[in-house]
Amino acid sequence: MSRSKPIVLQPPCRGLAIGLLAGCVLLAGSGCTATRGVALRSAPSNPLEEYLELDTSTAEAPSERTDQVLRVNNLAWRADDDPWAVLGQLQAGIDREPSPEKVYALAELAYLAGRTCHEKDAQAAIDLYGASVLAAYRYLFDPCFAATRNPYDPQFRAACSLYNVSLEAALRIICKQQPLIPGDTRTIHTAAGACDVTCVLRGGRWSERDFERIEFASDYEITGLRNRYSQHGLGVPLIAVRRSYPGEPELAKYYPPELSFPVTVFLRPVPPEGRADGQVNTRLRGLLELYDPLTTTDIQVDRRHVPLESDLTTPLAYFLSNPKLGSLATVGLLRPDELLKLRPDTKGPIMGLYMTQPYEPDKIPVVLIHGLWSSPMTWMEMFNDLRSSPQLRQRYQFWFYLYPTAQPFWLSAAQLRRDLAEVRQTLDPDMQQPALDQMVLVGHSMGGLIARLQTTQSRDNYWNLVSSQPFNAIEAAPEVRQKLQQTFFFDPNPSIRRVITIGTPHRGSRFSNQSTQWLVSKLITLPQTLLSSQQRLFRDNPGAFAEDSLLRVKNSIDSLKPSSPIFPLMLAGPPMPWVRYHNIVGELPDEGWLTTLVGQGDGVVTAESAQAADAATEIVVPADHTTVQTHPATIQEVRRILREHLTELDGGPALARRPPRVVPQP
């Protein structure tokens, strides 16, 4: 395939300034290190506030249409009266002569009555909210109203909101009394009789044991992520916080601690059942169904297609509010040994691959690899936007790679190589899942170099940059020899089909110079085990490793210097015929003195270094190095590439040649 010409996207404004500090940000080797999260609202968001003119300081009156229903039926609604008397009379009128107007009025009045006694009588409030939910459900789905039901009527949307808000209000009280647990049954009392409600888990791949606690999405306002993705429908969006437990599946080791995920709860009344004596059981029943909106967006209700109300972004932002996540970038650069420690909830180290959803065999992995002085948090803006696409969400699963960015990037590439082999062995030891052979890697900055090294064949070329001696002639302990072999002798991963590099220094970065290298050498503390093994290797093999040997490169900053011989070798390596490369270049606007100071490029990587001659597509985005991966044009391009990948898999132009089927060894 011929390489397309670079597409230059014009910036929306040219007032961007970076200043001299950009050079030290080096140091800006990657992007977003700040924690993105949520802020607690003073009161939960309520879609009925405007429609019903709700005011907590005064007694709330019914809407004009409900007030008319009361007048027509010779009923009066006063805040200080017994609400059950009016609701009972209204229910009797519905039993005699059903109408959607009466049913809606019952739902609205029950909700208002529940608000009145919410603080004083919790059980009464639950019953009233439950009555509102059941009445709203009947208004929306009762077949006898099918001929007159009008989805364009504002009252129809108000009935949807009554269903959602009343269900949420009841659940708030229930969750204060005891956790919402699948399998539990609660009884609510309504004007139509008692109703037994059982909580059940529907769809998705989370298990009942994964639920640590439930939070309400409406309690939180997103403060970091730019875009909020939700779907209007029926149900209550929740934030579920996962817990670890003894005997959990092996794949749980890929979940980050305190992971939160979206859930939507839907209350479905169950039709009365016949009894053995031929009579009908008049006691009402309902199912409180929990859905994963990432896998289930719509449900069937009485043969009708119903979208679920969902919020995909707030649970993600809630997870990002964990203060521990904000320190990962700095820890990975200045104290990389911390990422090698074992996690308290698993037997594996903190570094490695992470998933935010249970593994699904039919979905293609997209592995996001951060850059220098960064962590997987740098991808959350892109992840939030990509996951919002139903097409991408249905066909892809997103994984994240966390690694210590202090070490030379070829060491991190070797670790990723081992981790990808291990996850394949865990998920699909018999190599029977085709989606795992269509993997896409996305790397920002130094992460792009790590990604490209997954698709390269080393032969002896990389070892020749380490030593003039044959590998077999090197004296080393078995564990050191194994690590050397894994780092400098490798084959391309046959499962990786596309690599997307963003702001990647394909020819090194000029910000890796004597000054920055000296500064970083004073700040970074490499693991003692790594240093001691290197020193012993040099001592046992005098003269085998020249001063410019890759093995003498002390940290990631040194590894990025443009004079390093690894860059010409990587650029000269023949591309694998089954892999397609795509490249995204950041470019600062031409601001005169600023461009003269930092040169053409993104402020850290020059335009020349950022270009990739073997890329099938390459675009230039008006962004600096620390924000290029979050720029809308970058995210749009990644989305386009992922769709192109699906088009080819579904019968479009085929890739050049399928890779050999090789079982990777962890």
Report the CATH number that the domain containing residue 465 is assigned in CATH.
Answer: 3.40.50.1820
Are residue 613 and residue 638 in the same domain, yes or no? yes
Are residue 444 and residue 578 in the same domain, yes or no? yes
Q: Classify burial at 518, counting beta carbons within 10 Å of its beta carbon; exposed 0-12, middle 13-18, buried 19 or more.
A: exposed
Are residue 181 and residue 222 in the same domain, yes or no? yes
Residue 8 domain flag: no
Are residue 57 and residue 185 in the same domain, yes or no? yes
Number of domains forming the structure of the chain: 2
Are residue 53 and residue 188 in the same domain, yes or no? yes
Are residue 132 and residue 112 in the same domain, yes or no? yes
Q: Comparing 58 with 569, which gets the higher pLDDT?
A: 569
**Alpha carbons 67 and 49: distance in angstroms, whole number:** 17
Are residue 427 and residue 339 in the same domain, yes or no? yes
Residue 26 domain flag: yes
- Mean residue pLDDT across the chain: 85
Partners of residue 364 on adjacent β-strands: 396
In this predicted structure, what is the pLDDT of residue 59? 53
Q: Classify burial at 236, counting beta carbons within 10 Å of its beta carbon; exposed 0-12, middle 13-18, buried 19 or more.
A: buried
For 346, the token pair is 């698993």
**Alpha carbons 84 and 298: distance in angstroms, whole number:** 35
Are residue 468 and residue 569 in the same domain, yes or no? yes
pLDDT digits (tens, 9 = 90+) for 229-252: 999 999 999 999 999 999 999 999
**Structural domain of 445:** 21-36+321-352+362-649
Residue 6 domain flag: no
Three-class DSSP category at 10: coil
* Selection from 181-190, 416-425, 535-544 with the highest mean pLDDT: 416-425
Q: Name the pTM for this structure.
A: 0.87
Three-class DSSP category at 131: helix
Strand (E) positions, 405-536?
439-444, 496-502
Are residue 521 and residue 550 in the same domain, yes or no? yes
Which pairing describes strands 310-311 and 230-231: parallel, antiparallel, or unpaired? Answer: antiparallel
Are residue 309 and residue 458 in the same domain, yes or no? no
> Is 418 a residue whose pLDDT tops 70?
yes
Are residue 328 and residue 298 in the same domain, yes or no? no
Which pairing describes strands 38-40 and 220-222: parallel, antiparallel, or unpaired? Answer: antiparallel
Q: Which residue has the tokens 């995204």?
A: 584
Q: How far is CA 355 from CA 176, 340, 400, 423, 533, in A?
A: 31, 18, 7, 11, 32
Lowest mean pLDDT among 179-193, 286-300, 500-514: 179-193
In this predicted structure, what is the pLDDT of residue 520? 52
Residue type at 296? T
> Is 472 a residue whose pLDDT tops 50?
yes
Residue 299 domain flag: yes
Quickly state the pLDDT bin for 597 (edges 50, 70, 90).
low
Quickly state the pLDDT bin for 52 (edges 50, 70, 90).
low
> Is 334 a residue whose pLDDT tops 50?
yes
8 A C-beta contact, residue 211 and residue 200: no
Are residue 377 and residue 310 in the same domain, yes or no? no
Q: Could you write out the DSSP letters of every residue in 81-96?
A: S-HHHHHHHHHHHHHH
**Alpha carbons 234 and 256: distance in angstroms, whole number:** 30
Residue 116 domain flag: yes
**Alpha carbons 499 and 528: distance in angstroms, whole number:** 33
